[in-house]
Amino acid sequence: MEEARPELDVLAIAAHPDDVEQTCGGTLIRMAGLGYRTGVLDLTAGEMGTRGDPELRLREAAEAARLLGLAWRGNLRLPDGRLENTFEARLKVAAEIRRLRPRAVILPYWQARHPDHARAAEIGYGACFLAGLRRVETDAPAYRPRNVMYSSVYARVTPSFVVDISEQFDRRMQALLAYQSQYGLPDEPSALFPDPEEIRERLAALARYYGNLIGVRYGEPFVTREILRVDDILALGSPSF
């Protein structure tokens, strides 16, 4: 899927293949169903993972991309487990942003247990800013996304908004379980590698919690740093009662 570089409406940036499938996959599916062009930029191939290998995970990512309905998916092959918020890393991501020209970018929440996730948020935000500076030279002209938002499903924070993914949850799980190297039946289930049914129950519980906040079955939460503007108070998405 890396040959074509269409202009996108939404680009999700993540540290590893399978990150977006856990955090904002339902939203990407929903947006694609609405006719928007969606994409994912994975920063690493997950080569430090205990199971699988980089080439296998890239093949699994391609299958997951099909299930998510993505128009584009790419991988920068930055070092897994050693992501650093350097100018060089930001410039590589900025070059992709300029070529893809997404209207909105989804990043991991900026505080995370895995250091790569936190670094991915820093790199992604810095790249969005860098991409808009005309004096920064890349193969494409300067461009900056209109909105940056953070997937906060694993963060202990109040969401700025929640997306209803009730109709997309099952397909999101199919996309996640396309990573058989990571989520296939292990020889011995463990806390690190639970079986697929346990994974589904855990993610369903999270999605049910966030869905309940907006009165739907399943939801995905997001945080924005800026206050959201409302032009029509009669068009708010959630009822008060």
Q: pLDDT tens digits for the chain (241 residues)?
A: 444 556 999 999 999 999 999 999 999 999 999 999 999 999 998 887 767 688 898 999 999 999 999 999 999 999 998 999 999 999 999 999 999 999 999 999 999 889 999 999 999 999 999 999 999 999 999 999 999 999 999 999 999 999 999 999 999 999 999 998 887 666 555 556 678 888 999 999 999 999 999 999 999 999 999 999 989 989 888 888 8
Looking at residue 209, what is its pLDDT? 98
pTM, entire model: 0.92
| Contact yes or no for 42/75 (Cβ under 8 A) | yes
Structure tokens at 45: 């191939």
For 164, the 3-state DSSP assignment is strand
Choices 3.40.50.10320, 3.40.50.720, 3.40.50.1220, 3.30.1360.120: CATH for 10-235: 3.40.50.10320
φ, ψ dihedrals at 138, nearest 5°: -140, -175
CA torsion 136→20→103→143, rounded to 10°? Answer: 10
CA 106 – CA 108 distance, rounded (Å): 7
Please give the pLDDT value at position 51.
Answer: 74
Q: What is the pLDDT of residue 238?
A: 82
- Residue 62 CA to residue 68 CA, distance in Å, equals 10
Give the per-residue pLDDT at 50. 63
Question: So what's the pLDDT on residue 77?
Answer: 96
Structure tokens at 144: 């900056």
Pairing of strands 72-75, 104-108: unpaired
Question: Cα dist. 66→11, 71, 216 in Å?
Answer: 15, 9, 26
pLDDT at 193: 66
Tokens 């924070």 belong to which residue? Answer: 157
Q: What gap in Å lies between CA 89 and CA 84, rounded to an integer?
A: 7
The helix, strand and coil proportions of the chain, stated in percent and rounded to the nearest 5, come to 40, 15, 45
